[in-house]
Amino acid sequence: MENSIDDREIQVIRAAVAATPACLPIEKLCSLLHEPRDSDPQLLAAAHVAACVHCSIELSLLREFEFPQPQAGEEAAVDWIAARLSRDVSARRSCPQIIGRDRDAGRRAWWRAMFTPRFASSTAVAFATVLLLISAILYVRRPMEPRLASSPAAAEVQRSTSIVALGPLGELAQRPATIQWRDAAGASSYRILLMEVDRTALWRADASGSEIAIPERVRSRIVPGKTLLWEVTARSASGSEIGSSGLQRFVLKLNK
C-alpha cells in the first residue's frame, strides 16, 4: 500500500512540479547563469530559483548544457558523434555532389542540403511520382509471404548482399542464445541490430567474430508468436560498411 500511488496522487505531484506563473523564462535563467547577480532583477530571480524546485532543475539542466562535463563512459560516444557530424559537414564542403548519391550522406543532408539548387525539383517530383506508381503496382502484385522455415538451423540463407546469415531464422522452438553468420571477406568488425517488425531497435551490438551471444535481458523480450528481425553489417578496418546480411526474421513458436 505504501508504495502504491494512484492517478490523483500523480496529478497532484505533476501539478506540484509544474511551472507556475512566477517561474522564470529561459532567457532569465540564461541571464542568471551568465551575468553577475548584482542587480535587483537578478537577485529577485535568484531568490525565486532558490525557492522553486521547477526553476532550480531547469537551471541545472541549462547549466549542464552550457558547461558540459561528460562522464568517463560518455566521452567516447560524444567524440564519435561529433566526429560524424563534422565529417558530414566536411564531405559536403569537399564534394557537394555527394548529396543524393551516397545513401549515408543523403540521409545526413541536413542544413546544407536545404541549400541545394531547386532547379531539378519538378523533374524530381515527376520521377518520384513514377517511382511511387511502380511501388504501388509492385505492392499490389506482391507474392504472399513465404512460410517460415521450420528447421532453420540447417539452412543457410544467402541474400543478395555478402554476408551469409546462419541463424536464428524461421520458426524456433526455443529462444535463440546467439546470432550467427558467416565471415565476410575483408570484414574487421560486424554490427548486429535486432529489431521489432516495425524496425524499432531492440538491441545493437558490435562483434569481431561471426557469432554473438544475445544478452539475457534481450532474450527475455523474445516472446512466442512475435516475429523479430535482425541484420548484420560488416565493416572494414576503416569503418566503412562493406556488406550486409539483409533483414532476417525469426519467431518463437507459440506453445500449444
Partner 1 sequence: MGGLTDEELIATSRARPKSSEAFDALDELFRRYFSRVALWCFRLTGDREIAEDLSQEVFARAYENLDSFQGNSRFSTWLYAVTRNHCTNRMKSRAAAPVQFGEGALAHLADVRQLDPQTMLEQAEAVRAVINDALDETEQKVLVLHYGHEFTLDTITRMLGLTNTSGAKAFLVSARRKLTGVIRQHRAVDSRRRR
Residues paired with 85 in a beta bridge: none
Binding partner 1 (rule: CB under 8 A), the pick from 23, 42, 46, 54 is 54
Task: In angstroms, give the least distance from the CB of 164 to partner 1.
Answer: 24
Task: In angstroms, give the least distance from the CB of 99 to partner 1.
Answer: 13
Task: In angstroms, give the least distance from the CB of 201 to partner 1.
Answer: 7
Cβ within 8 Å of residue 178, ≥6 positions away: 167, 211, 212, 213, 214
Query: Between residue 176 and residue 215, which ones bind partner 1 under the rule CB under 8 A?
Result: 200-201, 204
Amino acid (one-letter) located at 131 = L
Nearest to 59 by CA among 46, 69, 44, 74: 46
Asked if 171 and 148 touch (Cβ cutoff 8 Å), the reply is yes
Interaction between residue 31 and partner 1 (CB under 8 A): yes
C-alpha cell at 56: 532550480
Interaction between residue 114 and partner 1 (CB under 8 A): yes
Interaction between residue 12 and partner 1 (CB under 8 A): yes
Interaction between residue 221 and partner 1 (CB under 8 A): no
Interaction between residue 122 and partner 1 (CB under 8 A): no
By beta-carbon proximity to partner 1, the closer residue of 28 and 167 is 28
Binding partner 1 (rule: CB under 8 A), the pick from 30, 46, 205, 207 is 30
3-state helix, strand, coil split of the chain in percent (to 5) is: 45, 20, 40
Binding partner 1 (rule: CB under 8 A), the pick from 22, 44, 47, 82 is 82
Interaction between residue 112 and partner 1 (CB under 8 A): yes
Q: How many residues does the chain have?
A: 256
Interaction between residue 47 and partner 1 (CB under 8 A): no
Task: Scan for cell 543457410, then name that residue.
Answer: 156
Asked if 172 and 255 touch (Cβ cutoff 8 Å), the reply is no
Q: Tell me the torsion sign for CA atoms 226, 206, 234, 173.
A: negative
Phi, psi of 229 (to 5 degrees): -115, 150
Interaction between residue 2 and partner 1 (CB under 8 A): yes
Instruction: List residues near partner 1 by CB under 8 A.
Output: 2-18, 26-27, 29-31, 34, 51, 53-54, 56-57, 60-62, 64-66, 68, 70-71, 74, 77-82, 84-86, 88-89, 93, 108, 110-112, 114-115, 200-201, 204
